[in-house]
Amino acid sequence: MAEQTTRSVRQQRPSIYDVAKVAGVSHMTVSRVLNGHPNIRDSTRTKVLQAIAETNFTRSSIARALATRRTMRIGVIVDAPVQYGPNSTLRALESAARRAGYAISAFSLSEDEDHQIESGLVELVPQGIEALCVIAPRASSLDVLRQQGLGMPTVVIKAEPETAMHTAAVDQQAGASLAVSHLIELGHRRIMHLAGPLDWYDARGREQAWRQTLTAAGLPVVEPVVGDWTSGFGHHVGATHDFSQTTAIFVGNDQMALGLLHGLASRGIRVPQDVSVVGFDDLPDAAHFLPPLTTVRQDFAALGALALEMVLAALEGDSTTGQELIAAELVVRESTAPPPA
């Protein structure tokens, strides 16, 4: 009876392979179209969409699991999920997986739970996950993973490459370089950095790019102020720091930039007339800060789609390691201007 049910499901529900055959493309190309991957030719996308309509293909995790004896489930361990970046990455990955017919089982580590990846594996593996994705913003969150042979395809989302693993990330260094170069092009020569915690890969990449961009331009580098990502810390810096030798501030994230703007305003320091401010992330509210914030936008939807694509490729036997990057984008608003004369 079970075999009969499986055969019936196969007959009634076309698979991604049927769509690929009708469209004359690979099943990975079909997957990329389903995931909204940007690097697909319009003609190819049209062929795949026509094949989907022709075959009456619908993505059904239940049917596919019956037909293939697979769970169609991906495990995700996410470190520091309350922060904007990891949380947005998780939501983007969930959306991409859902479009591809996969379910997500997530295990979250709070910021005070170092070395708890073991707990995540203990919880996720019995659920029959076929692959693992680790959203690892902090260096400490990968220590255990490096020591264990998991025996399943694993993709890590982190800003620094990992030679023995698939990794994906938004290009933090290129994004930070865009921000600092924008300030230099406006004429700023004394550019301070309010950094995030340097145990975070993203914060390290942004700090390194700030330093390298200033050095390449022959400009002085003053050691950064290291914060904790919060608007409270940004407010403290804005309200107390000596900015007499500073005309511009590159802030490690928009949340600290929000507090910084508040702290500066409390002292009568005007942005951008007295000092320019650039953030990083492009929070949904960044356009409504006072003044609207110039910042670096991270495309988390593209990052989630890329990570899911790498997971699916690994499930198909791709053992390639190395890093793939999503480009960052500078969004210029009203918080930056040439320095005061």
**Which secondary-structure segment (H or E) carries 249?**
strand 248-251
Boundary of a domain, candidates 46, 66, 86: 66
d(CA 195, CA 245): 18
Domain ranges, residue 161? 71-170+301-325
Of 12 and 109, more confident: 109
Sorting pLDDT into bands at 50, 70 and 90, what band is 4? very low
Let me know whether 96 and 151 are in one domain.
yes
Residues β-bridged to residue 294: 278
Average pLDDT, the chain: 86
Question: Is the confidence at residue 32, as pLDDT, over 70?
Answer: yes
Say yes or no: 136 and 176 in one domain.
Answer: no
Same domain for 280 and 188, yes or no, is yes
Last residue in a domain, options 12, 33, 66: 66
- pLDDT score of 145: 67
- The answer to whether position 338 is within a domain reads no
Same domain? 242 vs 288: yes
**pTM > 0.85: yes or no:** no
CATH label of the domain that carries residue 279: 3.40.50.2300
Q: Residue 266 has what pLDDT? A: 97
Domain end point (choices 279, 298, 317): 298
The answer to whether residue 219 sits within a structural domain is yes
User: Measuring CA to CA, how many Å separate 25 from each of 19, 28, 140?
Assistant: 9, 8, 42
Give the model confidence (pLDDT) of 310-337 as tens digits.
998 888 887 778 889 999 999 999 999 9
Please give the pLDDT value at position 1: 38
Joined tokens for residue 148: 């264990």
> Is 247 inside a domain boundary?
yes
Mean pLDDT, residues 98-119 taken together: 77
Same domain, 120 and 136: yes
The residue that leads in pLDDT, 35 or 306, is 306
**Can you give the CATH number for the domain in which 23 is found?**
1.10.260.40
Question: Within this chain, do residues 164 and 306 fall inside the same structural domain, yes or no?
Answer: yes
Is 339 inside any structural domain?
A: no
Is 220 within a domain?
A: yes
Question: Could you report the per-residue pLDDT of 70-95, keeping only the tens digit for each?
Answer: 678 999 999 887 889 999 999 999 99
Answer yes or no: is pLDDT of 58 > 70: no
- Cβ atoms of 172 and 205 within 8 Å: the answer is yes
Q: Higher-confidence residue: 271 or 125?
A: 271
> Over 80: is that where the pLDDT of 183 sits?
yes
288 contacts: CB under 8 Å, gap ≥ 6: none
pLDDT at 286: 97
Q: Which of 101-115, 237-251, 258-272, 288-302 has the lowest mean pLDDT?
A: 101-115
The verdict on residue 336 lying in a domain is no
Q: How far is CA 293 from CA 91, 116, 240, 241, 283, in A?
A: 24, 36, 21, 20, 10
Higher pLDDT, 259 or 15: 259
User: Which tens digit of pLDDT belongs to each residue from 140-157?
Assistant: 767 666 665 566 888 999
Q: Which residue has the higher pLDDT, 82 or 7?
A: 82
Pair (6, 117) in one structural domain: no
Residue 55 lies in a domain: yes
Same domain, 56 and 75: no
Q: Are residues 10 and 21 in the same domain?
A: yes
**How many percent of the chain have pLDDT more than 90?**
54
pLDDT digit string, tens, across residues 215-230? 999 999 999 999 999 9
pLDDT above 90: residue 100: no
| Number of domain units in the chain | 3
Q: Is the pLDDT of residue 65 over 50?
A: no
Q: Does 191 map to a domain? A: yes
Assess whether 156 and 176 both reside in one domain.
no
Same domain, 180 and 285: yes
Are residues 286 and 310 both part of a single domain? no
Distance CA 61, CA 184 (A): 51
Distance CA 105, CA 121 (A): 11
